[in-house]
């Protein structure tokens, strides 16, 4: 599936399409260059799910926990600062992954083999015209 976002005003509709495509899956690994829009898109997905807290990047805390409108937890990870997959284990990442809660992960390549097999890869690319292509 591909979702195109031509400008910031299209983000809510793109996030809604993404949520519909989730189909009950809970593990999503967001890949893309620095500045591609991973955090911005994840923040909009969270808003569309009813999160009212600030859902910015958890760069320094590694993981932020939010509550969706229905009260269910959403975990937003930013693994950019990890030096090794062991650090993710030490923080209990595997417990989050197997909790059944929605896990939205940035920089999943830092996890190596720890990334569960059922994780859905989401690639965000900036196109030459500045628009974004989101591929699941």
pLDDT digits (tens, 9 = 90+) for 25-39: 999 999 999 999 999
pLDDT over threshold 80, residue 76? yes
pLDDT over threshold 60, residue 60? no
Distance (Å, rounded) from C-alpha 83 to C-alpha 99?
24
**pLDDT score recorded for residue 61:** 67
- pLDDT-derived band at 99, boundaries 50, 70, 90: very high
Mean pLDDT of 51-74: 81
Q: What is the tally of structural domains in the chain?
A: 1
Nearest to 28 by CA among 127, 124, 92: 124
The CATH number of the domain holding residue 33 is: 3.40.50.300
Structural domain harbouring 124: 2-135
% of the chain residues with pLDDT over 90: 79
- pLDDT-derived band at 52, boundaries 50, 70, 90: confident
H helices of 1-136, in order, are 11-22, 38-48, 85-90, 93-97
Can you read off the two tokens belonging to residue 48?
């569309």
CB of 76 closer than 8 Å to CB of 46 = yes
Mean pLDDT of 115-136: 96
Count CB neighbours of 66 within 10 A: 21
CB of 111 closer than 8 Å to CB of 93 = yes
Three-state SS letters, 2-37: EEEECCHHHHHHHHHHHHHHHCCCCEEEEECCCCCC
């Amino acid at each position: 599936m591909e979702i195109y976002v031509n400008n910031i005003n299209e983000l809510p509709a793109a996030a809604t399409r993404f949520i519909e495509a989730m189909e009950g899956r809970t593990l999503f690994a967001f890949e893309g260059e620095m500045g591609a829009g991973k955090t911005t898109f994840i923040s909009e997905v969270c808003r569309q799910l009813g999160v009212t807290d600030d859902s910015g990047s958890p760069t320094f805390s590694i993981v932020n926990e939010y509550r969706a409108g229905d009260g269910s937890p959403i975990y937003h990870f930013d693994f950019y600062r990890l030096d090794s997959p062991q650090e993710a284990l030490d923080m209990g990442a595997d417990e989050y992954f197997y909790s059944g809660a929605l896990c939205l992960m940035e920089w999943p390549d830092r996890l190596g083999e720890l990334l569960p097999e059922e994780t859905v890869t989401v690639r965000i690319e900036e196109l030459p015209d500045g628009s974004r292509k989101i591929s699941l």
